[in-house]
Structures are given as structure tokens and as C-alpha cells.
Amino acid sequence: MSTLRFHAIKESLKRKPIVIEEKQRRSEIFGSNVFNESTMRQYLTKEAFESVRDAIQLGKKIDRVVADHISTGMKEWAISKGATHYTHWFQPLTGATAEKHDAFFETIGGGLAIEKFGGGQLVQQEPDASSFPNGGIRNTFEARGYTAWDPTSPAFIYGTTLCIPTVFVSYTGEALDYKTPLLRALQAVDSAAVAVCKYFDKNVRKVNASLGWEQEYFLIDRDLAMSRPDIVQTGRTLLGHSPAKGQQLDDHYFGTIPNRAMAFMRDLETECMLLGIPVKTRHNEVAPNQFELAPIYDEANLAVDHNSLLMDVMDKISDRHNFKVLFHEKPFAGVNGSGKHNNWSLSTDTGVNLLGPGKTPMSNLQFLTFFINTIKAVNDNEELLRAAIASASNDHRLGANEAPPAIISVFIGEQLTKTLNELENVTDGKLSPEEKTDLKLNVVGKIPDVLLDNTDRNRTSPFAFTGNKFEFRAVGSTANCANPMTVLNSIVAKQLIDFKSEVDALIDKKDMKKDDAIFNILREYIKKSKNILFEGNGYGEAWEKEAKKRGLSNNKTTPIALKAKVSKKTLDLFEGLGVMNKVESEARYEIEMEDYVLRIQIESRVLGDIARNHIVPTAVRYQNVLIKNVKGLKSIYGEGFKAFAKEQLNLIEQISGHIESINANVTKMTEVRKKSNKNENLEKKALAYCNNVKPLFDAIRYNCDKLELLVDDELWPLTKYRELLFTK
């Protein structure tokens, strides 16, 4: 292994940046491999084009006859771009994307063939659903699943394949993917938000949820990554002592981007432009060899598709540049992990950002309505929001020194806190003309000025207001954004429905004017949501004690956090909105719990293998070198040899102690794992892995990492942190 390590280092040092030529402006190539509106106008009949547009904007169904016209135009465009195959591109509950390629080619007899792609092939396919996670929704003999075209996310060409974004459902109609519940949640928040917007503007007919994700990742030389069995099989390092220099000097953050990384980024961005992914920002992150990429905001469903596609593209492009992209939330101990901040807002078809203040008191009252309702939604559903970002890998990051804790709280800044405090003192009942004037001029009217100077940012806040949007910072870098976005849009939709019901009740039953009713309800929401607002540092015992006093949950591990997904409150929420039925919710809970178990199980087996088959033999080999040295000294100096072999003997004893601890803990871990596997109840099994198997990782790692400091560097088999993190 040490030979492999040094060969990998040697190869990595030979790397040169690949020359990337950008001959055209990005605006000229943007979306050129996407079947977008411009392309549709060229390749579709007027009737077909209007049918797709109505499906996107109004949610109307596309007639099968019209679908034949659409598929013909889509096929001709794809073939003109060099495509030979098509696929329904979907996002099953594996966490990765899925695709099955079929050729446009079809024989017609007489030794002849044609290119064929009909409306039926566009609209629906029947992939085998038996090998995808289903959480008990379907039996093996009911293996069929259906993929159905999602016209709101445009088809695109990658390589020589036409990719058609689709939903994925079971034979019995339940969702087996991330996209289906998201689309339902977006429909729910659209309907609920439009109803509330009518208080302020009767012309609003549609509200879109927007999403801007920020993708953090590590770039590691491919040969160095492939020399580490743990990175290859788990996506992170299970062992490795921290280097003398890590991120403590803060010299990597926003620093000059290394040449090879820059070449990768330029190549990636060109591919993104072709695919219509509007990437805009790139920079070094805090940890060595850690970077970030962020796009311009987009409609949430399309943004989710873009992020899933981006992760696929990053893998392919990194291979071309002899890199390995690590998306794991905590691939290296002792340095920052990676998140995927989800920046979320709501905007109307009239061009108004509902979480951005306006120039008039009325528009600012609208802002406050959606701002406070979002806070109330988070306050009432903080456990579900925590469950939405729960995973085995994100457990390593949450609560670490650079990431938000597992306690969900909302940060809004000092100035907006003062504004809410003033609103809390609004008169109960009808406002006098003087009170209403004072409120609108001195509180609501000043909100734009407040936000102009409100540049506070709290890196420890899981959910922060950042000027004209909320930033859900606790989302992990491996996550599919659809999961947290489904939950966030659902809880806000439910909250807006409740808000409208309460306001209408005051207007109808107590004969209040609209503004009075809105102010009264918002005042009550502020009072009820105070516990979720937190402006301080999210680290440490002080906040944990305070959070407990406030009644906030602190679900530190995935098995505990996921329980919120199947609580009666959650099941009623999703069923009431039509986002997921009970079967779908329970299936997702089971799938995510099983995923947790399997990931910890895999890591446990890999760790045991590396510890016993790589670390221990290397330590014994070095120990034999020391023993030989001691024997040599004894042959020269006789009984007085101990004076010269004191350190060697000490090292031999230390190595023996670490070897003994490693073997004992690996044996214990194996036995505990076997015992955990006997649990037929999935929840008990997950808790056993969490509480009994996983803690042994640290004990094994401690001794292995100590040996790394003792054993001769020439013998050490695993590529070290200093090589993984500082090879540019």
C-alpha cells in the first residue's frame, strides 16, 4: 500500500492544468442543449407549443395527439444536435439520478430502419421499479413503475442522449421519487400564497417558490483519492491524523483559485451553460481544496433538477481533469465540512418578491405577512424541518465548529427583531386612525431602510433571513434539494392557509377592516414564535440549555430526527395538502432509516478492514524494524544496551498498546454489528447502529491515528491528510 501511496503522489505532482478554450460568450451558448422556449418555437407547431406553455404556466394536461407532435419536434431537434438515444431522467429515492437509454432507431422490415420517437414514449415509460427503494409500497411481483414527463422542466441533451425529466411512481400510483412530492408542495404553496396575495393585489394569479442553492465540495487528485479505500467506498476518510497546517490561517478562503481547479471550473461552467444551468459564482471555501459554486436563482423545481444534474456533470468533468469530487458533508476531520445552503423565497407573476420590502406601507405589510408566516411555520414545524436534512453524513457536520447545530432556530438580525417587537405592541382589536398612521409610517414604512443596513450574517444559524430571502443553511452537500424544499413549501402553505382563515374570521365575525385583522393576527404570531428566534452563537452548551428551556428540539442523530416524518402531525399535514399520503410518508421514513443503517454498516466494515489489514500489519512491520534495531544494539553493547535503546523500547510498547486496542475494538464492533443486524424492527436496528456501532469508530480511529504519528512515513500505507488536502 505504501508503494501505491507514493506512486499516487508522484502521479499527482506531474499533473498540468488542462487548457480550456472559451471561444464564445456564455450568453451565446446558454441553453443551447436545452429544449427551451426558443427551441420549441422553431421545432413545434403553434398548437403544440401553446399546449406545452399552458402545461408549464397553468398546469393543463397535454393531449396525446399533441404529444405526438411535440415528440416529433423534440426528436428532430435532438438528432440535429447529434443525439442517438433518449431517456426518462428521474430522481429515485437512492439519492442519485437514474436513466435507461433507448435508441431512436427502429426497424421497419425489408432490411430498412427509421428514427422513431412517439408521443407515448415521451409521456410515459415503464422502468422496472423492483430494484429501487420503495419502503414496502409494492411487492416484487408488482415490479412495474411509471416515469411520466414533467413539462415544467425542459428536456436537455447530455452527450448523445436526449434526457427528459420525469416523475417516478409505483404501479399503484404512489410517488417513488423526490420530484413528485415537490411538485405537489409547490402547487400547494402557490394556491395558498395567491389567496393571501389577494389581500394586497387582486391581479396576482400565480406564486412561484424560488431556490438558489450553494454547492460546496472538495476537489482531490484522482490518484490520491483512489489510493484510499475509505474514500473509494464511503466518500470520506475514516482515518487520518490532522496535518500540522489545516485551515487555521484562513488563507484558503476566497484565495487565488489553484490552476488545476480553475481549469476544472471553467470546463464545468461551459457544460453548465450548454445545459442551461445558470452558474454564476465560484470561489475557494474555508478548508484546503474545498470550493463552492452557486447559480442565479430559479423556480424551485427547475433549480432542484439543475442541482441534481450538476452533481452528475461534476463527477464526469472531474474525471476528465484527474480529480475526484467529494460531496460528503465531512470528508475530513478537523476542517470544515460542506453544506448546500438553500436560499428560498416566493415571487408573484406580477414580478414581486414577497420576502422583499417595497416602497409603500401596503407592500411592506405584504412583506411582513409572508415574513412572519414563514417564521411561524418554522416555529411550529422545527422538528420536521430538522428531519428534512437528516442523513448519516450530515450528522457529522451539524454542530461542528463551522456548521449550524441540530437545533433549528431562525436568525433575522437585530433591526428586524426590533421591528417585530414594535409590532407586538399593536392594539388588540381595531386600530385608531392615529395608531394606524403611526404604525405604517414609523414601523412598516421604515422596513426598506432597516433591511438596507441589515447586513448581519450568522454562520451558526440553520435558518437565516438574509435581506430578501430565507437561507436554509443546515442542508447537507449530498442532499437532494427536493427533500427540504418539499417540507419548507408544505409548512409555509399550511401556515398561509391557517393565516387566511384567521384573518377572514376577524373580518367576517368581528367586522374588522382588512389591515386591522392582518395586524392583529401577525401580532399573535410574533408572540407565539418568539422561542424560535435566536440571534446568538449556535455552538455550545449554553445555547443547548437555552433551547431546551424554550422547548426546542435537539435531535442530534438521524434515527431520532426522522421520527418527526411519521408523527401524526406530519402525516396530517402532508395528507391535508395532498403532498403525500400516509403510505408515501411512511415509505420514505423506512427508506431513509434503512439508508442510515446501510451507510453505517458499510463504514464499519470498511474501517475494520483498513484497521486490521492495512494499519495493524504496517505497525507490526515497523515494530519488527525497531526490535531488530534493539537486538543489534544489544549485540554491540551487551547488558548496557538499554541506555541506548530506551526510546526504541518505549515505541515498541506504545505500538503494542495501540495494536491491542485496535484489535479489541474491531472485534467488539463486529460483534455489536452482528447483534444489531438481528433486530427485525428497523427503528431499533438504526438506533443500535447509531448508539452501539458508530461510537466504536472514534476509538478505532484514535489508535490508528496515533500509529500514523509513530510509524515510519516510508511504510505508512494510507495517503495522508497533508497530501490529500494540499496537493493542488
d(CA 5, CA 717): 6
**Is-contact 95 596, C-beta < 8 A?**
no
Which position has the grid cell 449556535? 538
Query: What b/e sequence results for 21-43 when a residue is b if at least 16 CB atoms lie within 10 Å of its CB, and e otherwise?
Result: eeeeeeeeebbbbbbeeebbeeb
Q: Which three cell numbers stand for residue 213?
A: 442553492
Q: Which residues contact 355 (CB under 8 A, 6 or more apart)?
A: 345, 346, 367, 370, 371, 374, 465, 468, 469, 470
Residues 6 or more apart whose Cβ sits within 8 Å of residue 104: 75, 78, 79, 83, 84, 85, 86, 115, 116, 117
396 in Cβ contact with 330 (< 8 Å): yes
Residues 390/591, Cβ–Cβ less than 8 Å: no
Q: How much is the pLDDT for 357?
A: 84
pLDDT tens-digit series, residues 496-546:
999 999 999 999 988 889 999 999 999 999 999 999 999 887 777 888 999
Domain with CATH 3.30.590.10 in the chain: 186-239+248-537+560-580
Task: State pLDDT tens for residues 398-454.
Answer: 876 667 889 999 999 888 898 899 888 887 878 778 777 777 777 777 777 666 555
C-alpha cell at 343: 436560499
Q: Kindly report, residue by residue over 61-86, the tens digit of the pLDDT.
A: 888 888 899 999 999 999 999 999 99
pLDDT one-digit tens code per residue, 567-590 = 999 999 999 999 999 999 999 999
Share of the chain above pLDDT 70, in %: 96
Name residue 174's amino acid: E
pLDDT of residue 400: 67
Q: Which of 214-228, 403-417, 510-524, 630-644 has the highest mean pLDDT?
A: 214-228
Q: Which of 66, 64, 78 is nearest to 32 (CA)?
A: 78
Q: Is the pLDDT of residue 455 over 50?
A: no
- The residue that leads in pLDDT, 178 or 450, is 178
Query: Three-state DSSP class for 43?
Result: helix
pLDDT-based confidence at residue 140 (cuts at 50, 70, 90): very low
Is 290:338 a contact under the CB 8 Å cutoff? yes
Which amino acid makes up residue 645? Answer: A
C-alpha cell at 386: 430538522
723: which 3 cell numbers?
A: 497530501
* 318 grid coordinates: 472531474
What is the band of 110 on the pLDDT scale with cuts at 50, 70, 90? confident
User: How confident is the model at residue 200, as a pLDDT?
Assistant: 95
**Statement: residue 658 has pLDDT above 90:** yes
Rounded to whole angstroms, how far apart are CA atoms 92 and 40? 28
Q: Is the dihedral of CA 515, 517, 522, 524 positive or negative?
A: positive
Cell 551487551, residue located: 638
DSSP 50-68: HHHHHHHHH-PPPPHHHHH
Going by their DSSP bridges, the two strands 470-472 and 340-348 should be labelled as antiparallel
Which residues of the chain does CATH 1.20.120.1560 include?
595-725
Q: Which residue has the higher pLDDT, 478 or 170?
A: 478
pLDDT digits (tens, 9 = 90+) for 262-273: 999 999 999 999
Instruction: Give the other-Cβ count within 10 Å of 111's Cβ.
Output: 6
How far is the C-alpha of 605 from the C-alpha of 610, rounded, in Å? 9
CB within 8 A of 416, min separation 6: which ones?
Answer: 450, 451, 454, 465
Whole-angstrom distance, CA of residue 623 vs CA of residue 378: 57
Residue 132: strand, helix, or coil: coil
Residue 217, SS3? strand
Residue 101: per-residue pLDDT: 92
Residues 6+ apart with CB under 8 A from 74: 35, 43, 117, 122, 155, 162
Mean pLDDT, residues 306-324 taken together: 97
Lookup result for grid cell 544494539: 633
pLDDT of amino acid 74: 95
Q: CA–CA separation, 232 vs 240, rounded Å?
A: 15
- Selected residue with higher pLDDT from 577 and 176: 577
Positions of E strands within 317-427: 323-326, 340-348, 410-411
Report which of residues 402 and 604 the model is more confident about.
604
Report the pLDDT value the prediction gives residue 250, as an integer from 0 to 100: 78
Rounded to whole angstroms, the Cα distance separating 187 from 207 reads 9
Name the segment(s) of the chain with CATH classification 3.10.20.70.
31-176
d(CA 661, CA 448): 62
Contact assessment for residue 611 and residue 704, using Cβ atoms and an 8 Å cutoff: yes
CATH number for the domain formed by residue range(s) 186-239+248-537+560-580 = 3.30.590.10
pLDDT at 410: 95
Which burial class, exposed, middle or buried, applies to 384 when counting CB atoms under 10 A from its CB (0-12, 13-18, 19+)? buried
State the cell numbers at 250: 484562513
- pLDDT exceeds 90 at position 216: yes
Enter the C-alpha cell of residue 69. Answer: 407532435
Considering the chain, what is the average pLDDT of its residues? 91
376 is written with which cell numbers? 411561524
Strands 323-326 and 161-170: what pairing?
unpaired
pLDDT at residue 156 is higher than 90: yes
pLDDT score, position 141: 41
Fold of the CATH domain 595-725: Four Helix Bundle (Hemerythrin (Met), subunit A) (1.20.120)
* Beta strand segments in 8-101, E: 85-89
> Which residue(s) pair with 188 in the sheet?
none
β partners of residue 157: 162
**Helix (H, G, I), strand (E, B), or coil: what is residue 356?**
coil
Residue of 415 and 382 predicted with greater confidence: 382
CATH for 31-176 (3.30.499.10, 3.40.50.920, 3.30.310.50, 3.10.20.70): 3.10.20.70
Nine-digit cell string for 513:
377592516
For the segment 114-133, the average pLDDT, to the nearest whole number, is: 80
Beta bridge partners, 339, equal 476
**Between residues 639 and 720, the one the model is more confident about:** 720
- Report, as an integer, the average pLDDT of 456-477: 86
Q: What pLDDT, on a 0 to 100 scale, did the predictor assign at position 696?
A: 98
